[in-house]
Every structure is written in structure tokens, then in C-alpha cells.
Amino acid sequence: MVNTIIKTEKLCKTFSSGGIQQHVLKNLDISIEQGDFTIIMGSSGSGKSTLLYAISGMDKPTLGEIDFAGKEISQLNNDQLAIFRRNNCGFVFQQIYLLDNMSVLDNVLASGLLVNKNKRELVSKAKELLIQVGITENSWSKFPTQLSGGEAQRVGIVRAIINSPKVLFADEPTGALNSSSSGSVLDVFTNVNREGQSIILVTHDIKTALRGNRILYLRDGVICGDLKLGAYSESEDANRREKLRTFLSEMGW
Ligand SMILES: Nc1ncnc2c1ncn2[C@@H]1O[C@H](COP(=O)(O)OP(=O)(O)OP(=O)(O)O)[C@@H](O)[C@H]1O
């Protein structure tokens, strides 16, 4: 059975500055299924990050409703939203923001302890996840500045999923990485999604988009394309790439 994890109704976001209003998200009705790896694409300024921030409770919509796993979050105040995010959402950004004065393991634990006070359980989960993303024991006591960009981002993903979020949100997570580091970070997204993690990711990058099973295309604050790509498989790469390219060209990308 398919379960909807996020559903928006007439979601709007308007920014006002100097008396001028900019309607960035316009009456969006979106349903995101649990377990999906959803990609949000669109040209620069189309509202992708604004949408990601609204549905993850990082920012409040101007109008409309957001049902997140059965909870209406659009009316929560800032404190309630902070608690909601801590318990339900994981975040990965282009900038990694690990704490430089803490080891790799402590960076992950610091995030985990906000939700789970059982340190022994947490340490074991942190180590297991670090191993899964290819960060082996000899790196656990390193500091973030001693890691490559790709390694740091893989630690960032572990930190984001240590509390088993209902949805992992990512905004251009490979934007600052070279192509081989990007590949290893994308493999981590693919693997955690295969284990059931719902992911919503904003990107401009075709290689990244190919990892998703659904592509939403945003133009001027409206969803104007919705492509079901199916689950990622390395062997079908050329076929998926062609499907995605055709879709993007129809979208005028
Ligand atoms: N806090 C804000 N205050 C005022 N305007 C904003 C704010 N955040 C975003 N905007 C405006 O909203 C529009 C959409 O921005 P957004 O960052 O969502 O686009 P995007 O599609 O993610 O763009 P990019 O691909 O370049 O990152 C832009 O015109 C931006 O200037």
C-alpha cells in the first residue's frame, strides 16, 4: 500500500520587500509518497529551495496547508517547528557545517543526543551508519578539516539520518564536490533510499536527478512537470538518462 508522507494544499509563499510582493510558490498541491526519492528541478529562481524549506518546516508558508505524516504543520509556531524538525526531518545542504572542534563520531553523536539519550545505543548506531557510508574506524576520531569534501558530506548524511527522520531533505548536496566525490555521496543517497528512507532533494544536476524515482519540475512557483522514473538501477542508466533529457527538454530546461 502506498502511504503519503507529505501532502500540500494550495501552498503559497510570498516574500515582501520594499513594498513589493514576490509570489514565489503559487497554490501548490503536491503529494509525496513514503519511501520515494523525489527530485525537485527547475531553473534558477523558480522556487525550489523555498518549496523545500516550506515542506520541511524550515520556513512557514504564507497560505495553504502542509500535512506531514498526519500532522498539519503550517500553523505551528517557531518553537513547535523546531521540535517537529528535530524529530522528523534530516537535512543535508551544499555547505556541510560539521563542527570543526569535534571529531567525526562526536559530530554524529551530538546530533543523535538531541533525540535519543541512550548513548550506548547511539554510539553503536552511529558506527554502523558510518561504516555503511564508507567512513571506517580510522576516521572516526579525525576532525572535519582532515576529511575530503566527499567524506565530510557522507558524515553529514549520517548526522542527518542518525535520528531516523521520516524524510531526508537535501539541497544541492553534491554542489560543492568534484565528480568522484559526488558519485560516492550519490551512492549513499541511493543506498539509504533502498533501505526505505524517504528523500526529497533539490538539484540542477542531471547525474544527481537520475538517482530519484520521481522528478517534479517547478517553473515560476508552479509544478509544471511530474516524471515517474522508477527505481534507480545502474544498468538502466542510458535509458533513464534519455527519459530525463526528453522530459527536461519538454520543460524548456
Ligand atoms: N528570504 C527571502 N526573502 C526574499 N526573497 C527570497 C527569499 N528567499 C528566496 N527569495 C526569492 O524567491 C525566489 C526563489 O528563490 P529560491 O531560492 O527558492 O529559488 P531556487 O529555484 O532554489 O533557485 P536556485 O536554483 O538559484 O537556488 C528568488 O527570486 C529569491 O530571490
CB-based burial, 152-185: b 16+ in 10 Å, e otherwise = bbbbbbbbbbbbebebbbbbbbbebbeeebbebb
Mutational pocket test of ligand 1: of 49, 94, 204, the residue with most ligand atoms within 8 Å of the beta carbon: 49
Domain ranges of the chain: 4-251
Supply the pLDDT for residue 236.
78
pTM above 0.80, yes or no: yes
Mutational pocket test of ligand 1: of 14, 15, 26, 58, the residue with most ligand atoms within 8 Å of the beta carbon: 15
Cα-to-centroid distance, 49 and ligand 1 (Å): 7
Supply the pLDDT for residue 180.
86
SS (H, E, C) the chain: CCCEEEEEEEEEEEEEECCEEEEEEEEECCEEECCCEEEEEECCCCCHHHHHHHHCCCCCCCEEEEEECCEECCCCCHHHHHHHHHHHEEEEECCCCCCCCCCHHHHHHHHHCCCCCCHHHHHHHHHHHHHHCCCCHHHCCCCHHHCCHHHHHHHHHHHHHCCCCCEEEEECCCCCCCHHHHHHHHHHHHHHHHCCCEEEEECCCHHHHCCCCEEEEEECCEEEEEEECCCCCHHHHHHHHHHHHHHHHHCCC
Cα-to-centroid distance, 126 and ligand 1 (Å): 34
Residue minimizing CA distance to atom 1 of ligand 1: 15
For a pLDDT cut of 90, what percent of the chain falls above it?
91
Mean pLDDT for all residues in the chain: 95
Supply the pLDDT for residue 249.
97
Contact between 135 and 158 under an 8 Å Cβ cutoff? The reply is yes
Supply the pLDDT for residue 234.
85
Contact between 106 and 144 under an 8 Å Cβ cutoff? The reply is no
Summarize the confidence of residues 105-122 as an average pLDDT: 93
* C-alpha–C-alpha distance, residues 222 and 211, integer Å: 23
Residue minimizing CA distance to atom 30 of ligand 1: 45
Q: Cα 235 to the chain's mean position, in Å?
A: 25
The pairing of strands 37-42 and 198-202 is: parallel
ipTM for the complex shown: 0.97
* CATH class in words for 4-251: alpha beta
Write the pLDDT tens digit of every residue in 153-212.
Answer: 999 999 999 999 999 999 999 998 888 889 999 999 999 999 999 999 999 999 999 999
Q: Is the pLDDT of residue 235 over 90?
A: no
* C-alpha–C-alpha distance, residues 48 and 95, integer Å: 17
Write the pLDDT tens digit of every residue in 31-46.
Answer: 999 999 999 999 999 9
| Residues flanking ligand 1, CB < 6 Å | 15, 17, 22, 24, 42, 44-50
Q: What confidence tier does 1 reach under pLDDT thresholds 50, 70, 90?
A: low
Q: What confidence tier does 117 reach under pLDDT thresholds 50, 70, 90?
A: confident
Considering only 75-79, 92-96, 177-181, which range has the smallest mean pLDDT? 177-181
